[in-house]
């Protein structure tokens, strides 16, 4: 059962140069308790997607979609107040560079206590206060922090990046959300800390049935527990499907290029030239028509100026006129 169902979500921004389509007919389905990784380079609109789901919407954006459903609610047709209640109850988000998202003026403990929803506490003032404290401590235990007193008494700048990310995860899970959106949670972290954060997230997902939408830049950051994966380039969905299948038999040239470029299989000879996509990521004002990968794609042909429709082979969906694998010659 899909709890999040997005069909043909389009986001357009009003700029001086007219309407710019930053997310082009994007679709995503997320099942309960599933970890879905969304891979995209900068400017691909992946953070904007997260904002659209959560409803942090600028009035200048034009959002249209065939479906943007969260469980039984149609998020786009809900009034803002109702939407806010649902989002606040069911969803949470963690960000890149966590220490900058914590309030530098307040101690970690105070910020953590603040994130505990008031409705879940009962009793008179003193009892509520004590409850808050114990619940904050329990949250820290849940994210794997043992020396709770020391951490709660610290200011954000005193914490290491990994620890700050754990605090922000603790704050995010304070109200037991059903969906956690992690926007590049481990970029610029060293491998050990990164590994800890991933383990923590997978553990939370497994123990509480929390769905996680993991947004990342790099294929090497895709964790094995993430069974589904989507690749997005300049706002267009390139390929989506089961992670293993995409890694072993990519159908879209972009997936193949990303696998080679991030040295995922590590098959290439050391010091050999890496296969790259030529050119740079186009700017928003100068998006190519049709398939936006076109100018950089090694297999591009004349038909690529028409945007390809999404095709499906064995639960693997891709948008390409000339895919690297076809349904017939496989298995």
Partner 1 sequence: MSKLLEVRNISKYYTHKDGWLPGRRICALEPLSFSLERGETLAIMGETGSGKSTIAKIIAGAEKPSSGELFINGQALDKMADQQRCRYVRMIFQDSLRSLNPQITVGKQLLEPLLFNHDGRSLEERKKRVFETLRKVGLLPEHYHFYPHMLSSGQQQRVCIARAIVLEPQIIVADEAFAALDPSIRAQIINLILDLQQDMGISFIFVTHSPEIVKHVSDKILIMHRGKMIEFGTTQALITDPQESLTATLLQADNNYKVPLHSTTKE
Q: How far apart are CA 232 and CA 43, in angstroms?
A: 10
Residue 48 sits in the site that holds partner 1 (CB under 8 A): no
Q: Could you tell me the smallest distance in angstroms from the CB atom of residue 116 to partner 1?
A: 22
Q: How many whole angstroms separate alpha carbon 307 and alpha carbon 168?
A: 40
Query: CB within 8 A of 192, min separation 6: which ones?
Result: none
| 218 touching partner 1, by CB under 8 A | yes
Looking at 280, 286, 302, 309, which residue binds partner 1 (CB under 8 A)?
280
- Could you tell me which of 56, 76, 57, 49 has the C-alpha nearest to residue 232? 49
Segment interacting with partner 1, rule: CB under 8 A, options 1-9, 67-75, 146-154, 175-183: 146-154
SS3 22: strand
φ, ψ (nearest 5 deg) of residue 70: -115, 115
> Which listed residue (33, 88, 144, 288) binds partner 1 by CB under 8 A?
144
| Of residues 126 and 280, the one with the C-beta less far from partner 1 | 280
Which token pair is 255?
């997936």
Which two tokens mark 175?
């109200």
In the complex with partner 1, the residue whose CB is nearer, 55 or 162, is 162
CA pair distance 253, 18, nearest whole angstrom: 31
Among 47, 96, 99, 196, binds partner 1 (CB under 8 A): 196
The 221-260 contact track toward partner 1, x by CB under 8 A, reads: --xx--------------------------------xx-x
Instruction: Determine if 60 is a binding residue for partner 1 (CB under 8 A).
Output: no
Query: CB under 8 Å to 288, separation ≥6 — which residues?
Result: 282, 294, 295
User: By CB under 8 A, is residue 194 in contact with partner 1?
Assistant: yes
Contacts of 110 (CB under 8 A, 6+ apart): none
326 binds partner 1 (CB under 8 A): no
Q: Compute the least distance from the CB of residue 327 to partner 1, in Å.
A: 28
Q: Residue 199: count other Cβ atoms within 10 Å of its Cβ.
A: 13
Q: Does 41 bind partner 1 (CB under 8 A)?
A: yes
- The site for partner 1 (CB under 8 A) is made up of 41-42, 144-147, 150-151, 154, 158-163, 188, 190-196, 198-200, 203, 217-220, 223-224, 257-258, 260-264, 266, 268, 270-271, 273-277, 280-281, 283, 296
């Amino acid at each position: 059962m899909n709890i999040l169902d997005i069909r043909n979500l389009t986001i357009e921004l009003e700029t001086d140069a007219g309407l710019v389509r930053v997310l082009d007919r994007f679709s995503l389905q997320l099942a309960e308790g599933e970890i879905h990784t969304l891979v995209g380079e900068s400017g691909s609109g992946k953070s904007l997607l997260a904002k659209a789901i959560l409803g942090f919407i600028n009035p200048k954006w034009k959002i249209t979609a065939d479906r943007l459903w969260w469980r039984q609610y149609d998020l786009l047709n809900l009034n803002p107040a109702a939407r806010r209640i649902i989002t606040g109850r069911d969803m949470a988000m963690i960000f890149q560079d966590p220490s900058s998202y914590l309030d530098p003026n307040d101690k970690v403990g105070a910020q953590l206590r603040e994130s505990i929803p008031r409705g879940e506490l009962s009793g008179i003032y003193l009892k509520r206060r004590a409850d808050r404290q114990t619940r904050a401590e329990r949250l820290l235990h849940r994210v794997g922090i043992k020396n709770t007193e020391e951490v709660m008494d610290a200011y954000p700048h005193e914490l290491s990046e990994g620890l700050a990310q754990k605090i922000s995860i603790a704050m995010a899970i304070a109200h037991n959300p059903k969906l956690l959106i992690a926007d590049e949670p481990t970029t610029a972290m060293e491998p050990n800390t990164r590994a800890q954060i991933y383990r923590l997230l997978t553990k939370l997902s497994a123990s509480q049935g929390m769905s996680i939408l993991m947004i990342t830049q790099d294929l090497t950051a895709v964790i094995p527990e993430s069974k589904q994966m989507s690749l997005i380039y300049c706002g267009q969905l390139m390929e989506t499907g089961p992670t293993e299948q995409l890694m072993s038999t990519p159908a879209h040239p972009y997936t193949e290029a990303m696998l080679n470029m991030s040295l995922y299989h590590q098959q290439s000879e050391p010091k050999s030239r890496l296969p790259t996509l030529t050119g740079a990521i186009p700017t928003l004002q100068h998006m190519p028509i049709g398939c936006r990968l076109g100018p950089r794609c090694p297999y591009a042909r004349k038909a690529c100026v028409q945007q390809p429709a999404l095709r499906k082979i064995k639960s693997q969906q891709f948008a390409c006129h000339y895919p690297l694998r076809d349904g017939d010659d496989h298995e």
